Chain A
């Protein structure tokens, strides 16, 4: 057996022959009470969440929070100590082969070979995935086109830059056209240009309806790409929700920054006379107002009233928390409450 495997016995599956869930109805990813411990370390603790098909989910957490362990279990590369995980309706422990067919895995450190070109690397994995003849050639060509690697086909892998390497790794993960992509820190260590390119590729994949489960430290990037974010801390899920809801937080009011042509003008006066609106503070060319609702319709009606009443509005935007701030705030709440918050 794998000599890197930890000593603890994994969860013994007592009914492996039980049929997998109906694949069409199944969630892309379903995790129930998943735990994994290594000698002296409880890496994942009672984690439960679901990811619907076609969603892009960001998996956020500090180093050692349990992201990679969870992702490795989902990719059938590790086994849970207890709990269950299903990908495309297949149990990762009892039906690993089926799970592997429907996932594309991209680890945080992509593996390279010496004395091997980009083309040979893709060819090796295409062969290993069972592609033969023209189908193999077509898959390689398609992936090279998508990741824009055609021009690098004859370059030795160990001479690739980090960004090129990540594109190659993504290409390898896409060779068998998987339904679910599990990407562990794909943007780590990339320069801004390579990061933009990678983000672009992931956006295209998301538009094509693929489920993307992606971990990253760069929250702002995840916020742009993801339908929802999953925060993990010390092996526990502490938040699961959209980036919007995170930015908004639990507030019942909205803060709007308003800029007026010619400075503050009569914004404070207008706010004092308007229902649902409170003037908060003045800024260099306007001020901040607080609207006692988070409903978009109410916020829009406030803007409409401002314009109708002759205020020279040049900028009107909701002030949102940065995702990083939201994450830190959630961590603070957990520390204060002494227990995990799961939404």
Chain B
């Protein structure tokens, strides 16, 4: 393009040269978000407010050294800014790009969905880092005033930073949904989960639970939080990505790698914590895999056609719910094996019931993941491979959860509730209730196992049969050419 000669050619170069404030190696999205984010009123007000509160709490600390109230005041504002204000700034991160009509423009550049999402998250965390560094001098001064464990405070601040990173990832991941209500519900649901998880992890580390190895538990918690960040960012990225991008394989491989790393912590005798973290990692990865649409572009499957090894890997790692089912089976098999081995081989074994009851419980747990798929593929076949699958899956899970709570409540309120439970045992969570009812399980152990096994088979067969045309096409695309 040769521009028409204009008198301000030299001016334009001089003006353009001003755009060297950020190094070229920084992600374009990070640069853009930092430029925009640090100009917002919210950031400025929050920063000034935090500094004011820090100064006030320091003065209050001078007047009343070692006061619990002052300590609480100090941490309350740090927690609010880092775990509520900052993450909520990501609530519209991706949806606003749709709203502003800029998502298309960005997707025409070299930025893929993952880099877009990661850039937004990094920018938010860079601003969180500014808040953290703003708090550090006050932490040092509090130490000089006395009655403060500097190392614990520093670890607490580090953990808050990690928590803020995860909460931001949740907000940004959910912001991929354009509907405000759906976004809000997801953020609240995941937010509650986050609070429970975060509080548990904090208790594990700072109150020396689970085997009394806080350093190892901190390492494990860091791994869990980092995986959480990756998961939610990938969750958002895969929802804004064009159909020709494959994000699934990376998500599943990272989940397997993190599981492997988490299992390495078994060395430190924190079996229960490891099992919780492994369960969470695989649980999130599997739900995501089971609700993915099948790839419609054979280009996505091209790398899996190379040789026999990649074709085997394709069974578990190709995008879409079909690969998702086998990935789930792989994870679940491995998880069951690990639980069994841990219960048998480690110094602090997890107490397990033997034989059929253990198998039935594990099958029930597996079925609780697969059961909603039966409904989706039977009653919402058009949505079975679309963008709403995750929403429908979550809705069915919520309904099943509600049903189980009602059954449990009835079971404890009524004297004869067995018939009701027996009628609903195909629902995995109800079967789990029945299993825990020792009187019933003693008589029906084999029947329960058979029901659980049949439900598992249905969970696999119904989607495959119902979507047989799509499955056939998908398998044809996997064949070597």
Against B, the Cβ 8 Å flags (1 = close, 0 = not) of A133-163 are: 1001110111011101011010000000000
The answer to whether B437 has its CB under 8 Å from any CB of chain A is: no
CB pair A137–B16 under 8 Å, yes or no, is yes
The answer to whether A112 has its CB under 8 Å from any CB of chain B is: yes
**Which single residue of chain B is at the shortest CB-CB distance from A75?**
B108
The answer to whether A125 has its CB under 8 Å from any CB of chain B is: yes
The answer to whether B52 has its CB under 8 Å from any CB of chain A is: no
CB pair B298–A14 under 8 Å, yes or no, is yes
CB pair A111–B9 under 8 Å, yes or no, is no
CB pair B13–A141 under 8 Å, yes or no, is yes
Given A12-B298, A16-B298, A140-B16, check contact A127 B240 (CB 8 Å). no
CB pair B35–A120 under 8 Å, yes or no, is yes
Given A119-B19, A136-B19, A144-B15, check contact A13 B239 (CB 8 Å). no
CB pair A177–B297 under 8 Å, yes or no, is no
Contacts of A5 in B (CB 8 A): 243, 386-387
The answer to whether B383 has its CB under 8 Å from any CB of chain A is: yes
Given A7-B383, A77-B108, A105-B105, check contact A119 B4 (CB 8 Å). no
Contacts of A140 in B (CB 8 A): 12, 16, 19
Bound CA span A76–B97, Å? 18
CB pair B11–A2 under 8 Å, yes or no, is no
Contacts of B102 in A (CB 8 A): 111-113
A10 CB to nearest B CB, Å: 6
Against B, the Cβ 8 Å flags (1 = close, 0 = not) of A1-33 are: 111110101101111110000000000000000
Bound CA span A107–B106, Å? 12
CB pair A144–B16 under 8 Å, yes or no, is yes
The answer to whether A132 has its CB under 8 Å from any CB of chain B is: yes
Give the size range of B's interface with the partner: 35 or more
CB pair B19–A112 under 8 Å, yes or no, is no
Give the size range of A's interface with the partner: 35 or more
Interface residues of chain A, those whose CB is within 8 Å of chain B, are 1-5, 7, 9-10, 12-17, 72, 75-77, 79, 93-94, 96, 100, 103, 105, 107, 109-116, 119-120, 123-125, 127-130, 132-133, 136-138, 140-142, 144-146, 148, 150-151, 153, 172, 174, 177, 204-205, 208, 210
What are 21 inter-chain pairs, A to B, with CB distance below 8 A? A1-B293, A3-B176, A3-B388, A4-B98, A9-B296, A9-B470, A17-B481, A75-B108, A96-B242, A111-B102, A115-B36, A119-B16, A120-B35, A130-B109, A136-B19, A137-B20, A144-B15, A146-B3, A153-B15, A174-B1, A210-B1
Instruction: Identify 7 new A-B residue pairs, CB closer than 8 A, beyond the known A77-B104, A116-B36, A208-B2.
Output: A12-B297, A13-B297, A112-B102, A114-B36, A127-B28, A129-B110, A210-B1
Interface residues of chain B, those whose CB is within 8 Å of chain A, are 1-4, 6, 8-9, 11-13, 15-20, 24, 28-29, 31-32, 35-36, 39-40, 97-98, 100-111, 176-178, 238-244, 292-293, 296-299, 302, 382-383, 385-388, 470, 473, 477, 481
